[in-house]
Structure formats: C-alpha cells, structure tokens
Amino acid sequence: MDVIINGINGRMGRVVLETLTEEADVTVVAGFDKFAARDDDPPCCGTRIPVYANMNEYVGNADAIIDFSHFSTVPELMRYAKTVGIPVVVATTALGNEAWEAMRDAARTTPIFHSPNMSLGVNIMAKMGKTAMPALEANYHVEIIEKHHAQKADSPSGTALLLADAINEVCADRKDYLYGRHGTHDSCKLSDLGIHAVRGGNLPGQHTILFAGPDETIEITHTVYSRRVFALGALKAARFVAGREAGLYSMDDVI
C-alpha cells in the first residue's frame, strides 16, 4: 500500500511516518508540507522521503493520502484529491465551512474519510454514549469534560464535539450546548449539555462523558497515552477507504 502524508514535517506527521514505516506492506512514497525544506536531513526513520511544498509538483500515484496538517490546507488538498483521484483520510481538526464544503465536493468523485478523532477507542466511546442516552435522557444531566496539553490551540476539542453530537443525535429532545459554566444563576437544566475544556502542562488527551442522575453517576473516560494511537487509526482508515467508491466516510463505517 502506497501512502502520501500531508503535513509530514509536523508533530503528528512524523508520528504517522514512524508508525507506517513499521508496517511491512506500507510504503510512504511522498510527503506534502509547506516546510518542505526541513526534509534536508533524513526523517526520523532513517528513510529519505521526497517532500513537496506544492503538492501539484508530485508526479506519481498512491493508494491513499493521510492528512494531519492544518484546517486551512484542507480545501487545497481536496482540490488536489479531486484532480488526481486519490482517496484521502482527513485527520485534521477544527474544520470550518470552507473545508467541509470542499470535502463534500471532492467526495462526489473521490473517497474521502474524515473523523475528528482517529482513535478507535474514542469512536467506540461515542457509540457507548449513544447507547446509554435514550435510557437516561429523562432524569440524567450530561456533561463532557476534556483535558489537553497547554499547546492545544482549539477548545473545546473536536473530539468533545464528536461525543456531544453523538449523544444529541439520539435525544428525543435535542440538547443545547453550554460551553463552561460561570455566574450565580446557573439552573443546570436537563436540556443543557455542558462541555468543559481543561488545558495545562503536558496533560494527555482525556475525554469523559458524565451522566449525573438521581443518587448515582456514570462516567465513561478515554485517555490517550501516545499519539501513535491516532496514527494507527489513520492507517486503519486508509486501508478502509483505499479502493472504495466515491463518498464521504467516517469511523462509523469502519466500526
């Protein structure tokens, strides 16, 4: 399986490269990154990978592109994928309307995969929340708490919103998202779904769904100890999407 990594010189791009190099049936044939000049030295795995600041300069093919870059680059990547017909796994978060429109447009002719979190465990957690919610909705408050390191730029995390959306999807009465709590007149309504972000130090990524009901609580927590889990999830997604018909796919399809 031949793979291109978009954002190869970034923190996650390097983790993906290292992880994919360990797979006997996977070859990283190229990388795309605006900091292509950083590839003057061999990458972390001792293998020299051609890196292009302009993805249109790459002459070749691949079975899939794995994207861990920046939301601002996604529209350009979708235009490229649409032109060359290579499936893309979009693991970049904090996507805006322009990126989503570009993905939907590309998905008309090309297989596009997107998940706010590439961890299989997080996506199983979302399904657990969806399973529990119908039985708890009438009497249980729902709060989502997420913790990340101090360098994380967006809050709440895309994963927190993934979990909130999964729960809201099965609610008989859709909940209103409440980002953090403050003040002296918070009535904590059952119709609210509280989402809280914690940032500091080098905290590992952690997400908790809290169901707080009469005389009992239920907590579902997922903690990430290594970025490798996201690389492995992206590889699983790439294996899934390679050779598929055009469309917009998600981790639900993999599960």
Options 141, 148, 207, 222, the catalytic residue:
148
Q: What is the pLDDT of residues 159-206, one digit of tens each?
A: 999 999 999 999 999 999 999 988 877 788 999 999 999 999 999 899
Measured in residues, the chain has a length of 255
Whose CA is closest to 207, among 154, 241, 135, 158?
A: 158
Distance in Å from the first CA to the final CA of the chain: 21
Please choose, from the candidates 58, 64, 52, the residue with its C-alpha nearest in 3D space to the C-alpha of residue 88. Answer: 64
pTM for the structure as a whole: 0.87
- The tens digit of pLDDT for each residue in 67-119 reads 999 999 999 999 999 999 999 999 988 889 999 999 999 999 999 999 989 99
Is 149 an annotated catalytic residue? no
pLDDT at 47: 62
- The pLDDT of residue 255 is 87
Where does the pLDDT of residue 251 fall: very low under 50, low under 70, confident under 90, or very high at 90 and above? very high
Residue type, 243: G
Among 70, 130, 152, 236, which one carries the catalytic annotation?
152
User: To which H or E segment does residue 244 belong?
Assistant: none
Tokens of 135: 């039985």
Mean pLDDT of 116-144: 96
Tell me the C-alpha distance between 65 and 87, whole Å: 6
Nearest to 208 by CA among 167, 252, 174: 167
Please calculate the CA angle 220-162-75 and round it to the nearest 5 degrees. Answer: 155
Residue 37 pLDDT class (50, 70, 90 cuts): low
> Could you give the angle at the alpha carbon of 168 between the alpha carbons of 145 and 218, nearest 5°?
45
Active-site annotation holds for 148: yes
Residue type, 69: S
Domains of the chain: 2-118+227-254 (3.40.50.720), 120-223 (3.30.360.10)
**In 3D, which of 117, 37, 50, 103 has the Cα closest to residue 73?**
103
Q: Are 81 and 87 in contact (CB under 8 A)?
A: yes
Give residue 39's pLDDT: 45
Beta strands in 22-124 (DSSP E): 27-32, 51-52, 64-67, 88-90, 111-114
Q: How far apart (Å, rounded) are the C-alpha atoms in residues 117 and 237?
A: 11
Distance of CA 7 to the CA centre of its chain: 14
If we measure between CA atoms, which residue out of 124, 115, 92 comes closest to residue 207? 124
Instruction: Kindly tell me the burial class for residue 244, based on how many C-beta atoms sit within 10 Å of its own C-beta (0-12, 13-18, 19 or more).
Output: middle
Rg (CA), the chain: 20
The number of angstroms, rounded, from the C-alpha of 64 to the middle of its chain's C-alpha atoms is 16
